[in-house]
Chains A and B, each alone.
Chain A
């Protein structure tokens, strides 16, 4: 697409949003009269930055589909959120994302669009549509709610640059245990650009996708139930006291991968993960500050590949991040992460040994805007030397109030 064309497309999307916003204002007026109970919001996330190496290196280091991955300016995501109660039986939410790729072309994504039941008995709830797989804590968080500018390495590698999400259904059960314990079972398509590790071997976005993987995806025959994604998660929530709470989760996802297409071999992928989130909030907190939050996840993948024989590639990695909200609106963050694989090619971009640390400072003038400065020290084996990256991120939110989730 030519620049002029893409500008026109983006402008028309912009006009669409403007009219949506006019609608949002009238909707919020109507909300007071309880006439049109739909929440409409838009969130825009921009970044700019530079690095000690050039764009070709940065593009490989910043593996997330919404990560800033070039020197200069990036529109990480422009998200339109529409949600509310459908009727007494269902809630629904749709998140439509637009972004601009390196060529300035606009890309449209259906991030999520799902129904959620409200009236099932015994603590059961069903989600159906296009949604993030319940796996760990970060996978289903939308980019503008992240504590850092970019996606953790291990998530880009194992769950995909856009996060693991697909069409399907999920049932969850809130157990009667004396603490919060919820179990999720998911059944989703393994095909599609966001089924990384499964029937899509490439990244989610066109500009990252490798052509071969796209072909493998389209050629893979779906014969039955064994060709879908199955996921399970056990999430626990504990309050140690009034000021300290934690979430502890265990997840697994199983499905086919496309490497055996055209051979006799039926190759499978399994990913396992554990996640811990611990948060302290001061007794007398103002606007939720001061607080300290610690978020850690570990992931492990068994990925069957075919070379001369079937070979099981094992990849793993972790990230651990600390956020300290030291005064209202101000958060300092530190993230450490590692990823590695038993892949023989030590210079493989997605399988080399890698260590990265990030430091950031975030200022939220109100709940509706955010400015963040982040420094990454990235030591990837495939690059051969440590790379320094600096990002400045800016976010705004218009429309309905975003949720304060734990």
Chain B
């Protein structure tokens, strides 16, 4: 009996020593990157699905439970989660993952954000984030910076597995660098092309692949398109001979169909996040998916 008890205690302690780092991320893209670096040393769960706009998530009770049990909380930052994360953190009572602690990682701090403004931002402008545009994961070069920030934080929290995290990061970085070259050559035909985007979320993607964004379907970020704005857009598309409209799968397609009918512009629904489509499971799949969607229209 004593022996059994001893064994039990031993199992408990050994499992505690070998317990995986429990990482919770706000988005599926962050979860995919954590999985690349953590592999078998972490367990990772995203609070939101890639099929939805992470701006408009709700603090669900199941999320409270997840954050309560987290060792590390990884967030996009730059006001992306401003609508739901503060309320969630208040209910989750996990001081390990509060801002300023090692268990809280705001990845936007490691990225050169675009669209930052020191001018006064009012809500008259729609959903404008003075801290910068938060859709930075859509530039694959930022994927390396994001993965690096995650790697460093995992090492800080779980030093015993540092060599493994470093190795995984190097593997990831090499593969991503090669893939970026390939994606850029695949999309060579799009370089310099004038496009229309649905929302301001494609700023980083456009920058990475040199698209020239000439207008948005939304009159102001976060506002539904009006008839007069769409008419104006039709004029722009015709006069500037714009061939492509890029949009995320969660937006309505009625406006895009109308624009196509009236101006001949091709609208392309691109996956914006890991998990946007069932076959997009990794950060590499995400850009493969975007490249394939674009190339399918080009042909």
Task: Return the contact of B131 from the options A32, A235, A328, A405 (Cβ within 8 A).
Answer: A32
Q: Provide the residues of chain B in CB contact with A39, threshold 8 Å.
A: 86
When the two chains form the complex, which single residue of A283, A327, A402 contacts B252, counting CB atoms closer than 8 Å?
A327
Other-chain contact of A403, B49, B60, B87 (Cβ < 8 Å): B87
Is the CB–CB distance between B95 and A245 below 8 Å? no
Please tell me which stretch of B14-22, B50-58, B153-161 contacts chain A, meaning at least 4 of its Cβ atoms lie within 8 angstroms of it.
Answer: B50-58
Nearest CB in chain A to that of B98: its residue: A118
* Number of cross-chain contacts by CB at 8 Å: 103
- Of A54-62, A148-156, A199-207, A285-293, the one with at least 4 CB within 8 A of chain B: A285-293
The answer to the question of A308 belonging to the interface, with a C-beta cut-off of 8 Å to chain B, is no
Asked if A1 is at the interface (CB within 8 A of a chain B CB), the reply is: no
Q: In the bound complex, what is the Cα–Cα distance between A258 and B127 (angstroms)?
A: 52
Given A327-B252, A403-B84, A404-B57: A366 and B64 within 8 A (CB)?
A: no
Cross-chain contact B61 with A247 (CB below 8 angstroms): yes
Residue A3 is within 8 A (CB to CB) of chain B in the complex: no
Chain A, Cβ-Cβ closest to B220: A366
**A237-B61, A367-B83, A406-B59 are contacts. A91–B90 as well, Cβ < 8 Å?**
yes
Contacts from B to A (Cβ < 8 Å): 49, 51-53, 55-62, 64-65, 68, 82-84, 86-87, 90, 93, 95, 98, 120, 123, 126, 130-131, 222-224, 249-252
A119 touches B57 (CB 8 A): no
Q: Which of A125, A179, A288 has the most CB of B within 10 A?
A: A288
CB distance from B275 to the nearest CB of A (A): 10
B residues in contact with A32, CB < 8 Å:
130-131
CB-based contact A401/B83 at 8 Å: yes
Asked if B61 and A404 sit within 8 Å, CB to CB, the answer is no
Tell me which of B51, B68, B87 contacts A284 (CB under 8 A). Answer: B51
Question: In the bound complex, do residue B82 and residue A401 qualify as a contact, i.e. CB atoms below 8 Å apart?
Answer: yes
In the bound assembly, the distance between CA atoms of A288 and B130 in angstroms comes to 23
Residues on B with C-beta less than 8 A from A288 are 53, 56, 58
- Contacting pair B59 A405 (CB below 8 A): yes
Q: Is A262 an interface residue (CB 8 A)?
A: no
The answer to whether A237 touches B252, judged by C-beta atoms less than 8 angstroms apart, is no
Would you list the 7 A-B pairs with minimal beta carbon distance, nearest first?
A237-B61, A403-B87, A180-B61, A288-B56, A406-B60, A286-B250, A180-B65
Chain B contacts for A174, CB-based, 8 A: 64-65, 68, 93
The reply to whether A404 and B59 form a contact with Cβ atoms under 8 Å apart is: yes
Query: Which of B61, B98, B250, B251 is packed against the most chain A CB atoms within 10 Å?
Result: B61
CB pair B82 A405 closer than 8 Å: no
5 contacts between A and B (CB under 8 A): A174-B64, A180-B61, A236-B61, A239-B60, A403-B86
Partner of B61, one of A25, A91, A287, A406: A406
Name the contact of B49 in the complex, choosing from A118, A238, A242, A401 (C-beta under 8 A).
Answer: A242
- Assess whether A329 is interfacial by the CB under 8 Å rule: yes
Interface centre among A242, A367, A406 (most CB of B within 10 A): A406
Q: Which residues in chain A, 306-352, are within 8 Å of chain B measured between CB atoms?
A: 327-329
Give, as a whole number of angstroms, the nearest-CB distance from B13 to chain A. Answer: 20
A residues whose Cβ falls under 8 Å from a Cβ of B: 25, 32, 39, 88, 91, 116-120, 123-125, 174, 179-180, 182, 235-239, 242, 245, 247, 281, 283-288, 327-329, 365-368, 401-406
Residue of A nearest to B55 (CB): A287
Interface contact A404-B93, CB-CB below 8 Å: no
Using CB atoms, name the residue of chain A closest to B249.
A284
CB-nearest residue of chain A to B92: A174
| Minimum CB distance partner of B79 in chain A | A401
Instruction: Chain A residues near B87: list those with CB within 8 A.
Output: 403-405
CB contacts (< 8 Å) of B120 on chain A: these are: 25
Q: Which of A281, A329, A368 has the most CB of B within 10 A?
A: A281
Whose C-beta in chain A lies nearest to the C-beta of B127? A366
B250 touches A285 (CB 8 A): yes
> Which B residues touch A239, using CB under 8 A?
60, 62
What would 6 more interface pairs be, CB under 8 Å, given A180-B62, A245-B60?
A: A239-B60, A284-B51, A328-B252, A366-B126, A366-B222, A403-B84
CB pair A329 B130 closer than 8 Å: no
With A and B bound together, what is the CA distance between A124 and B94 in angstroms? 10
User: In the complex, are the beta carbons of B95 and A287 less than 8 A apart?
Assistant: no
| B64 and A237 contact, CB distance less than 8 A | yes
Chain A: minimal CB distance from B190 (Å): 25
Give chain A residues whose Cβ lies under 8 Å from the Cβ of B83: 367, 401-404
Q: How far is the CA of A283 from the CA of B120 in the complex (A)?
A: 36
